Amino acid sequence: MSQALPDDPVTRPVNLPRFTETGAVDPKLAGTALALRGLTKAFGARTVVDAVSLDVPAGSFFGLVGPNGAGKTTTLSMVTGLLRPDAGRVFLTGVDVWADPVTAKTRMGVLPDGLKLFERLSGKELLGYLGRLRGIAPEVVDQRAGELLTVLDLADAGDKLVADYSTGMRKKVTLAAALLHTPPVLLLDEPLEAVDPVSARVIRTVLTRFTTNGGTVIFSSHVMALVEELCSHVAVMAAGRIIASGELGQVRGSATSLDDAFMHLVGADDAGTGGLEWLGSSQA
């Protein structure tokens, strides 16, 4: 099959051969951790992700921001192979995720939002199982799992069932599972949503260490302060489209904060104003 140019917005249907275990990397995507080309997904008549094209530089801490319903989770689901796109292509470290999933899956660590784990395994068992599932040698898995549980402050809860974990603990053990096979790219959907401050600090520290060592972190969030603090690059998504992307300072422009820039970009400068004159008039 002829390969479309990776930098073109390709919009062909994704009925691609699924099992080519080639691991071939397109040289035009060198230095790019993730490249999206014309990625599209519609549910019924509603187009949730609309021909999105995006480049994420390798080694960057990349924030995908947008209001609820912007299409962030749908985009990340298509990138991670959990949701089939209607059109477009996804290149992860140059490998087409949907044409060569065997190679692509070895190069990504995933932390989705709201999906279950194997609830009746303990944290330690879950990591041990997933490591072995990926074909890593048992002694390496056990050594890495032990270190990850310690660093992520889960050592005392390692023998507890995942079903009994708090939200923060679940995020941390999922992050541990995502790091276990040392992937070059981490794809995280709202990694700090509903997480307590201590766990959030631990996760942020680990992610920062990961990028310092050359890894790429791509995460979605709608907390602008967090993105501004952590990210080197950012893309703003609204109504299924990328409306701005680039280095943080470039996207922020002359605005005083990323939050102000974001409000301006999504056309929500006046959000929350007008009406409600009766507020504060309670006689109780």
Partner 1 sequence: MVGLFASLKWTLVTSRLRRSSRAVRAWTIVLLVVVLAVLLFIAFGLSQLRRVPDVAPLVVTGLYVAQLLGWALMPLVAFGVDETVDPQRFALLPLRAQTLQRGLLVTAVVGWLPVANIIVMIGAVISTSSPWALLPVALIAAGIQLITCVVLSRAAATAMSSLMASRRGRDLGVLVGFVLVAGYVALSALLNSGSGQNFLTEGAGRAAKVLGWTPPGALASLPYRLATGQYGAAALGLVIALVALGLVWWWWGRALHVRLTTVSSTSESGGAGASTLSASAGSATGTAAMARLVARRDAVLSWRDPMRRLPWLIVLFMAVFWPLVVFRGAAGGLAVFGVILGSLMAGSQSANQFGVEGSGLWLHLTAYADRARARGEVLGHAAAAILPGAVCVLIALVTVSSIGGDWTQTPAAAGVCLAALLGACAISSWVSASLPFAMPQSRKSLFASSVPGQKGRTSGAQVSILLGGLVSALPAAGLAVVSALVDPAWGWLALAVGLLSGAVMLLVAIPATADRYLATGPEILAVVSAGDRV
Q: Is 132 in the site for partner 1 (CB under 8 A)?
A: yes
Q: Kindly report the CA angle at 79 between 259 and 236, in degrees rounded to 5?
A: 15
Where helices occur in 58-111 by DSSP H, the ranges are 72-79, 101-104
Residues 84-103: x/- map of binding to partner 1 (CB under 8 A)?
x----------------xx-
Q: How far is the CB of 189 from partner 1 (least distance, A)?
A: 11
Quick check: 264 binds partner 1 (CB under 8 A)?
no
Half-sphere exposure of 93 (CA within 13 A, CB side): 22
Number of other CB atoms surrounding residue 18 within 10 Å: 11
Pick 191 or 231: Cβ nearer partner 1 = 191
| Binding of partner 1 by 119 (CB under 8 A) | yes
Best CA proximity match to 143, nearest among 160, 123, 124: 124
* 164 touches partner 1 by CB under 8 A: yes
Task: Give residue 41's Cα distance to chain centre.
Answer: 17
Q: Is 159 one of the binding residues for partner 1 (CB under 8 A)?
A: yes
**Which residue's structure tokens are 């019924």?**
44
Q: Compare residues 6 and 123 and give the one whose CB is closer to partner 1.
A: 123
Give the nearest distance from C-beta 137 to partner 1 in angstroms: 6
Work out which of 39, 52, 141, 235 binds partner 1, going by CB under 8 A.
141
d(CA 147, CA 153): 10
The answer to whether 74 touches 64, Cβ cutoff 8 Å, is: no
Q: Where on the chain is the footprint of partner 1 (CB under 8 A)?
A: 18-19, 21, 80-84, 101-102, 104-105, 108, 110, 112, 114-122, 124-125, 128-138, 141-142, 159-161, 163-164, 177
